[in-house]
Each structure stands twice: as structure tokens, then as C-alpha cells.
Structure 1
Amino acid sequence: MSWIDITVELSENVAEWPGDTPFSFETPVTKEMSGSVNIGKITTSTHIGTHVDAPFHFDNDGATIEALDINRYIGNATIIEVVGKEEISKSDLEAHNIEGTILLIKTHAATDKSAFPNEVPTLTLDAVTYLAEQGIKLFGIDVPSVDLVNSKTLDVHHALHAHDIMIIENIVLDRVDSGLYDFIALPLKIKGADGSPVRAVVRKKEEDHES
């Protein structure tokens, strides 16, 4: 089976968090100037497009991105679809067969990645506890944040961290079916960083045990 890219394409069209640094790419050194090569320059937030949060993002005492175990971002991932919900509850999750250590939720709530959403669906706290009980170590969703856009307390971020569950946000699942997949999404090794863009990919398991 082929790998499927579930990453937001980074360009000046991708929406940044309001007030955050937008993404830009330029080529300040061209082959004509240097005589040999083109050299690009990127300016960006660490939370642009498809990205992972390090605990330091919301906790001054939390681990920064280079200290995280890369094995947490490789493994078996269950993709489920939960559409039309303001909150995703424990009972919503119980309706699915969740396998592996990674859960990715397709909500269809923010499919246009050039526009930042005003509202996003979030997990209830009992849903976070349920994920921990199922052995989930990485939680991902297809919107820019696991918390409400206007949240200052970031309750879901903190609850996931308390249960040792890492976070990946703004994945692209529009054309990916529910089921069990191989998953890879490695963060850049940036010393002291609060997060990192990733290139996230999935590959359908040949023997899928979805419900």
C-alpha cells in the first residue's frame, strides 16, 4: 500500500493563528546570483499548518520539542470520523474500535486551510480520560487546535499532557477513510522549541480491523 500525505501544504495561502507569524518562503540567493545554487529562506510560526505541540507550548516547565521521544510519532493509528459535534465525548469515541497508540479524528470542521476557523470541536475531559485508558499516546485532529479558539486556560491541552498524550493538530483527513493505518509525523529537532511543523503520512494496514 502507498503512503498518503495528510499534511497541509505550506505556502503564503495557509492560515496562521490570528496574530501569529505567517508562513513565507523566498529565494534570497538564486543560481544566477551564486553561480551554482538556489538557497531558500523560511519565516514561520512553529505552529503553522500540520504541526505538533511540545508541552512547553502551554507549560513553562514542559519539555521542548528536541527532548521528545520520536517513537511517539511513529506507529499504528486509528482514524475515525466524528462530524457535526461541538464536543467529542467519551460515548462518541466508544462507538469506534480504537487500535494502536495513535488516534486521529476527522471532523470536517476546517477543510479550507486558507481560512482560520472561528470555532473548532474539542474533546470533553472524560473523552481524554477514555483515550488514556485505551493506551493512546498521540492524539490528532483536523483543526488548528485541540482547544477552543478563544481559550486561555487550554484545558484539553493540559488534560492530554496530564495523561501523557502528545498532540498533533491540523492534519488533512478529507480524503482518507476511517480505519487502521501505519503513521509517521516527525517533528524537526529544534532546540528549545514549543512545537514544530511535521510531514505527516499514513499507510493503510492490509488487514484492517475497523468496526
Structure 2
Amino acid sequence: MAQQLWDISPPIHSASPVFPGDTPYSQQWCATIAPGCPVNVSAITLSPHVGAHADAPLHYAPDGAAIGALDLESFLGPCRVIHAIAQGPLLRWQHLEHAITADLPPRVLVRTYAQAPTGWDDGLAAYAPETVERLADLGVRLIGIDTASIDPASSKTLDSHQVIRRRGLRVLENLVLDAVPEGDYELIALPLKLTQADASPVRAVLRTLR
């Protein structure tokens, strides 16, 4: 049986929602196909947090590593998708424990939306920091979510980001898990090798396990 593939990355365009004050996607054409010019070439401007993305420690720690310095292993391999739909504003252990077993993979993605929004959601669901701690205790190395942040949009202390900083976890945000059943998959979500950036867009996909 052929492996099934789920694209869990939202489309990126000028109307893609961004965190208030962040840089939206924009594009201009530097060259277009015409007599004397054989190619189209564009220039794009965007925050690295637009669409599905991986945060680097540099995003939440002044001395943290840039995204291009991170080992790729955390972003590739077995993962578990857990549904905790409309359980916000904070994902607590009781929202996840129905899917926590002894064979929990080292990557956990949580679906909170019944349907991903098309605009900015100021009331986005986020991880409670104690939930992240418990996942780390179980050997989880990467957490993901279908909202724009693992912390509430209004947070100034970024408590869950500080947990992943301290525990050495990686993170994916802005995933689209609407069509993905709860269960185990192979995750492929590699960040770009941006040597000075605090995050990177990813083309995140899930594939059925062999």
C-alpha cells in the first residue's frame, strides 16, 4: 500500500495572518519574461514566522542559537498527532492524556482548531508550561501546534517558550491539522539553514508509517 501524505502547511500569500506588528508576506517582480529576459525572478519580504515555521532559541533567548545552527533530527521522524479541539486557552495535561501511552514518539503535534482560521486569532490556544514539562519528562524533543504560538498571544513572559529553552525542545507553530486523524505518523518539517534568523518557514508534511 502506498504511503499517504498530508500537507500540514498553510498557504503563504499577502493575506496570510501574522502576529500583530510582524512583517506580512509581500512579493515584487525583479524581472519578467519578455524580449531580452528569459526568466521571471521575484523578491519576497516576510517574517520567518509567517505560515508553518520552526522557532529557534534565538527567538526567545538573547544568546540562543539561530535556526540554521540547529540539528535537523528533531524535525524529522515519528510523531503523534493529538486532538484537543476547543480546549483552550491553555492545553493542560487532561486534554492530552487520552493519547499518551508508553510508546509515545519524541514528537507531539496538537490540533486545537476544528477548522484552521483564515485570519489572526487573538484567543489562540497555547500550551500550559507544565504540560510542556511533562512531555519533556517523557522524552518528547519537539512539540507542535496549529496556532501561531505555544504561548498565549498576550503573553509577555513566554512561559512555555522558556520551558522549551530550558529543556532543549524544538517547536513548530502554525500547522494545519484539520484533515489529520489522531495517531502516529512520520513528520518531515525541515527549516532553512538561515544562519542569523530567529525562525524559519517549513514545508511540514506527515506521512503514514511504513
Q: TM-score, normalised by structure 2?
A: 0.93
In structure 2, what residue type is equivalent to 1:97? Answer: I
Tell me: CA distance 1:123–1:81, structure 2 relative to 1, closer, same or farther (3 Å). same
What SS class does the counterpart of residue 163 from structure 2 fall into?
helix
Q: CA offsets, 1:44-94, max 9 Å, x none?
A: 001111111001001101111111001111010100100222221122222
- Corresponding residue of 2:201: 197
Deviation, 1:205, is 2.1
Is 1:95 the counterpart of 2:89? The answer is no
- Corresponding residue of 2:54: 52
In structure 1, what residue type is equivalent to 2:110? Answer: I
What SS class does the counterpart of residue 190 from structure 2 fall into?
strand
Correspondences of 1:23-172 after superposition (within 5 Å): 23-32=25-34, 34-85=36-87, 86-97=89-100, 99-108=104-113, 111-113=116-118, 115-172=119-176
Q: CA offsets, 1:161-182, max 9 Å, x none?
A: 2111111100000011111001
1:179–1:204 contact (8 Å) kept in structure 2: no
* Aligned mates of 1:41, 1:52 — CA distance in 2: 22
Deviation, 1:33, is 5.9
2:82–2:99 contact (8 Å) kept in structure 1: yes
- Alpha-carbon RMSD: 1.5
What SS class does the counterpart of residue 158 from structure 1 fall into?
helix
Identity between Structure 1 and Structure 2 (%):
36
2:126–2:147 contact (8 Å) kept in structure 1: no
In structure 2, what residue type is equivalent to 1:88? Answer: L
What SS class does the counterpart of residue 66 from structure 1 fall into?
helix
Tell me: CA distance 1:39–1:146, structure 2 relative to 1, closer, same or farther (3 Å). same
1:109–1:143 contact (8 Å) kept in structure 2: no
* Aligned mates of 1:138, 1:100 — CA distance in 2: 10
In structure 2, what residue type is equivalent to 1:111? Answer: A
1:109–1:121 contact (8 Å) kept in structure 2: no
Deviation, 1:125, is 2.4
- Corresponding residue of 1:11: 13
* Aligned mates of 1:135, 1:34 — CA distance in 2: 57
What SS class does the counterpart of residue 72 from structure 1 fall into?
helix
What SS class does the counterpart of residue 20 from structure 2 fall into?
coil
- Corresponding residue of 1:209: none
In structure 2, what residue type is equivalent to 1:151? Answer: S
2:31–2:37 contact (8 Å) kept in structure 1: no
- Corresponding residue of 1:178: 182
